[in-house]
Amino acid sequence: MPRYMPKQFTALILLALCLLIPHRVLAAPALWHLSDDDTSIHIFGTLHLLTSDATWENAAISKAFLESDALIPELDDQQLAKAGPIFADAGRLPRADHLRHHVGSGIYNDVVRLARQYDMPATAFDGARPWFAGMSLTVVSLVKAGFDPASGVDRNLIDRAISLRKPILGIETAEQQAAIFTGLSAAQEKALLVDALKQSQNVQAEFAALQAAWLKGDLTALDTVLNGSIETVDGLGEALLYARNRDWAHKLSLVMQRPGRYFVAVGSAHLVGDQSLIEELTAVGYAPQRVQ
């Protein structure tokens, strides 16, 4: 059984300042808008962890959020509170099983070395599924590098929505997100762990570059950094991103059928690339316009 259990996860370590007029503004986190006669949806790409000194909100983001009737994040506040235990249970191997059996001695020894480097027990991930070990090591490495889960955009917006008594309508449940990972193949799980081990070698520089690209709204750089590695493993992009993007596009098309103003905040990885949520919404008859 893993002895280190991070309290909160959202599917992936993911990933996504200005004027109030509706034209594209550069050098700011990306924000899209779609509307009809009685419905308005802003879509904002987030990062789940940031450095504590990162300044990301500007007038356009603030206005869109404050004027919305409801916030739509990946997980609402209740589901977010449940996510830690649900992911911990889903990421645990059967009692007699061991991580080494799934990834081999070489990768397992790398996990042990990294755990020790992070002042964790060498056996911390012996009972963890490969995807859970990879996800956990990524979170720990980011925290060690100065990225603060408490400063993540999703958590910030949810806390503010609660304080404003703004309804929060999660687009998924924690169980659905955990099921994505438990449904991965052995090769896909192993690939996630290997990617986490590779990232740990230069995590501070890589994620500093990611944060900088996100703050500038550089979609090309975000696509490369966030989604480049998963596209090299057969079916991984489909499982983690593309199928979910199609599902979310369907759900948001239903939102467009009822009056109101909504602020959607989802990981930036879902909003870049040729199978992004933006492209899927366009495919079902809506055309979100980037407003910054």
**In the predicted structure, residue 2 carries a pLDDT above the cut 80:** no
* Tens digit of each residue's pLDDT (9 = 90 or more) over 220-270: 999 988 877 676 678 899 999 999 999 999 999 999 999 999 999 999 999
Specify the pLDDT at position 112. Answer: 98
Contact 13/135 with Cβ under 8 angstroms? yes
If you compute the radius of gyration of the chain from its CA atoms, what whole number of angstroms results? 19
Packing angle, helices 130-144 and 203-216, rounded to 10: 80
Q: What is the Cα–Cα distance from 238 to 111, expressed in whole angstroms?
A: 26
pLDDT (average), residues 126-138 = 96
Task: Categorize the per-residue pLDDT at 4 as very low, low, confident or very high, splitting at 50, 70 and 90.
Answer: very low
From residue 124, how far is each of 13, 120, 121, 229 by CA, in Å?
Answer: 20, 7, 5, 26
* Tens digit of each residue's pLDDT (9 = 90 or more) over 178-218: 999 999 999 999 999 999 999 888 888 888 899 999 999 99
Specify the pLDDT at position 27. Answer: 58
Q: What is the Cα–Cα distance from 56 to 48, expressed in whole angstroms?
A: 13
Residue length, the chain? 292
pLDDT (average), residues 101-108 = 98
Contact 135/195 with Cβ under 8 angstroms? no
Specify the pLDDT at position 227. Answer: 78
* Tens digit of each residue's pLDDT (9 = 90 or more) over 17-57: 232 223 334 458 999 999 999 999 999 999 988 888 888 99
Q: CA 130, 131, 132, 133 torsion: positive or negative?
A: positive
* Tens digit of each residue's pLDDT (9 = 90 or more) over 74-104: 999 999 999 999 999 999 999 999 999 999 9
Task: Categorize the per-residue pLDDT at 121 as very low, low, confident or very high, splitting at 50, 70 and 90.
Answer: very high
* Tens digit of each residue's pLDDT (9 = 90 or more) over 60-78: 999 999 999 999 999 999 9
Place of tokens 């480049």: 228
Specify the pLDDT at position 19. Answer: 28
Specify the pLDDT at position 57. Answer: 93
Mean pLDDT check: name the lowest of 10-14, 107-111, 196-200, 238-242.
10-14
Q: What is the DSSP string of the chain?
A: --S---S---SSS------SSSS--SSS--EEEEE-SSEEEEEEEE-S-EETT-----HHHHHHHHT-SEEEESS-HHHHHHHHHHHHHHTBPPTT--HHHHHHHHHHHHHHHHHHHTT--TTTTTTB-HHHHHHHHHHHHHHHTTEEGGG-HHHHHHHHHHHTT--B--SS-HHHHHHHHHTS-HHHHHHHHHHHHHHHTTHHHHHHHHHHHHHHT-HHHHHHHHHTTGGGSTTHHIIIIIHHHHHHHHHHHHHTTS-EEEEEEEEGGGGSSTTSHHHHHHHTT---EE--
**In the predicted structure, residue 10 carries a pLDDT above the cut 60:** no
**In the predicted structure, residue 150 carries a pLDDT above the cut 60:** yes
25 versus 169: the higher-pLDDT residue is: 169
Domain edges within the chain: 31-290
State the pTM of this model. 0.87
